[in-house]
Structure 1
């Protein structure tokens, strides 16, 4: 079976990493895989797709309302027919309906994944309901959601029933530190053995709210002066975050590490993982941190509260940087609590976000 994944820019992020990790699991089941980038830039992660055995195609989607889009649709339909794809798996929300329509015209099977929680303005609410209903009931598009929060949101907000298939992580790449590995990695990274190390992983934008973490640092440093914050990721609010760090006098306690490929090394060097997002679909970096045995403090928001189903998998806190500071201090001062959360979190991700189990569910979506 031939599957085409349609994404925007191929970046080192969620869905891209997940489907590269899972390539052997699909290929072992006889799937031939292709990925198509629709952004102006193909993206730095394209070589990883090629190395995993994907065919890589770049077809930038035209902007605005113009005749170039009609040409694009016609050429895209011809491409689908000529390439003999069986399933077109769409991951781009903005283009969902039009690409599903082209897929339907080409006589192929469209699948769309809701990767996040999408809200609409009051004036466009019925329009978005109509798009979902027509895509599903007329174009035959099958809908998948990646988490409890996304599935529940689509059902309650848009009255749209989806097939829930959880995201997964690369278990061969993310696992707890071996004996003395943490100490060795800290030495390599020139991090003191006594330092309290916090870590975040993700794009810099208003949704992630990294500024909340930076605002919490002065309070934490009163208890732990050797604090170090490892900040992995880039984005349009990065300059603002750096300016805030200087203003608060904590810039020497932050390493802005940019995008990294060996994320596990940074996780293993850390003591506590933080995520302060306004909302998430489901956070793959949180799954990866938990798989590495790093205790997590998360804001109590949709997509993050999914990680605390039993109440003992992470620390869920109100959206307040002063509370964040207090919880970091409390958690680091209680290693037995930290160890219990880490063990429960690892059990959660191994049971819920296991690659082979969830790849099998995606395959059912393709074939049934």
Structure 2
């Protein structure tokens, strides 16, 4: 193993020997589009290459678009195998073989199911386990098995990470993991840049946007937990009050047909634009004046961070990790969950007060750079790996 590591050291062979790099295996469901996948991408792309080397293992048999991009651009190995129903011991043995044959030091498991597989697989290999909980399902629930199994798993796991204090609290309450052992590391991204005027004009023309319209919207999978229906209802209420707004929904998912029917029932017509899935969704985000996030639950929303990096104020529900990101009255407006009146009023406040909207935009951008950049997140994980 030592010979393998020395062969991987970087630099002139005649120079003093460097410390061998820490080899990390990120275990996840797949590497498609999503917040977890974006965190993994930031880590494998930005960890110090002189100190760390990464590989990825997908247990759902699909590498996904982000995984393919990482493999093509960075040469990072992405392994994939389809798990069966129940607890698939073949996946455990497959991961164990990877850990041993690839001489891996750390198994970084993202989400609970990959954590279970990675935890079983690491035994007897000498590797250490890091677990990151990226968010919770809604509604959260107690599980009898968790009460007995999770304290043991947590005790024998080197490092536990939650992406927000709210997520940490949920791990302690619903998963029976010791709160004192859970570190909080906020998600981070590279800041987005505003699209140029030519590209903005091109997108606006294709979407049928007009001068003088105020664009509200969101970028998210069309899933019930995101509560897009409330946005459609708020748009109808704003139009009925005489506001000239257009709603831009970027994303696709199982709720699309239901939402399109609702938009038709509300007689929104061209006021509601379903842009569908976009590989360059951030370009569409740049068109929005107000970002909306009325989800029933959130961990640390990556699209919320993207909106903040662009200086877009937000109206969002006071759930999960969102209140740790949005400062109510300073970088956006926080409302209670599933409250149509509150969402409508929150948007209306920002429409009516352009100075306040601009002030919130500047503060949102500053708060992003102070707390939620990819650089800060990667630094925290590097420290965590080195103490593992």
Assess same fold via TM > 0.5.
yes
Contact 2:92 2:120 in 1 (8 A): no
Q: Deviations over 1:319-353 (max 9, x none)?
A: 21232122212211211111111111112111111
Tell me which of 168, 177, 184 is aligned to 2:188: 168
Contact 1:200 1:275 in 2 (8 A): yes
Q: Secondary structure at the match of 1:105?
A: coil
Matched, 1:239 2:257: yes
Tell me which of 155, 166, 169 is aligned to 1:152: 169
Contact 2:328 2:334 in 1 (8 A): no
State the superposition RMSD in angstroms. 2.4
Contact 1:23 1:53 in 2 (8 A): no
**Taking structure 1 as reference, are residues 113 and 159 closer, same or farther at Cα in structure 2, changes over 3 Å only?**
closer
Tell me which of 219, 223, 238 is aligned to 1:201: 219
In structure 2, the residue matched to 1:282 is: 300
In structure 1, the residue matched to 2:362 is: 343
Contact 1:169 1:353 in 2 (8 A): yes
Q: Secondary structure at the match of 1:9?
A: coil
Q: Secondary structure at the match of 1:255?
A: strand
Residue 26 (structure 1) shift: 1.0
Residue 14 (structure 1) shift: 0.8
Residue 190 (structure 1) shift: 4.0
Q: Secondary structure at the match of 1:12?
A: coil
In structure 1, the residue matched to 2:64 is: 43
**Taking structure 1 as reference, are residues 350 and 74 closer, same or farther at Cα in structure 2, changes over 3 Å only?**
same
In structure 2, the residue matched to 1:353 is: 372
Residue 179 (structure 1) shift: 7.8
Matched, 1:253 2:271: yes
In structure 1, the residue matched to 2:24 is: 3
TM-score for the superposition, normalised by structure 1: 0.89
Residue 99 (structure 1) shift: 2.2
Residue 297 (structure 1) shift: 0.3
Runs of 5+ consecutive residues of structure 2 not aligned to the other structure: 1-21
Q: Secondary structure at the match of 1:88?
A: strand
Residue 4 (structure 1) shift: 1.1
In structure 1, the residue matched to 2:159 is: 142
Mapped to 2, the partners of 1:121 and 1:302 lie a distance apart of 15
Mapped to 1, the partners of 2:36 and 2:74 lie a distance apart of 14
Residue 286 (structure 1) shift: 0.2
Contact 1:39 1:60 in 2 (8 A): yes
Mapped to 2, the partners of 1:120 and 1:271 lie a distance apart of 33
**Taking structure 1 as reference, are residues 165 and 347 closer, same or farther at Cα in structure 2, changes over 3 Å only?**
same
In structure 1, the residue matched to 2:280 is: 262
In structure 1, the residue matched to 2:6 is: none
Mapped to 1, the partners of 2:203 and 2:193 lie a distance apart of 15
In structure 1, the residue matched to 2:99 is: 80
Matched, 1:328 2:350: no
In structure 1, the residue matched to 2:3 is: none
Mapped to 2, the partners of 1:365 and 1:340 lie a distance apart of 36
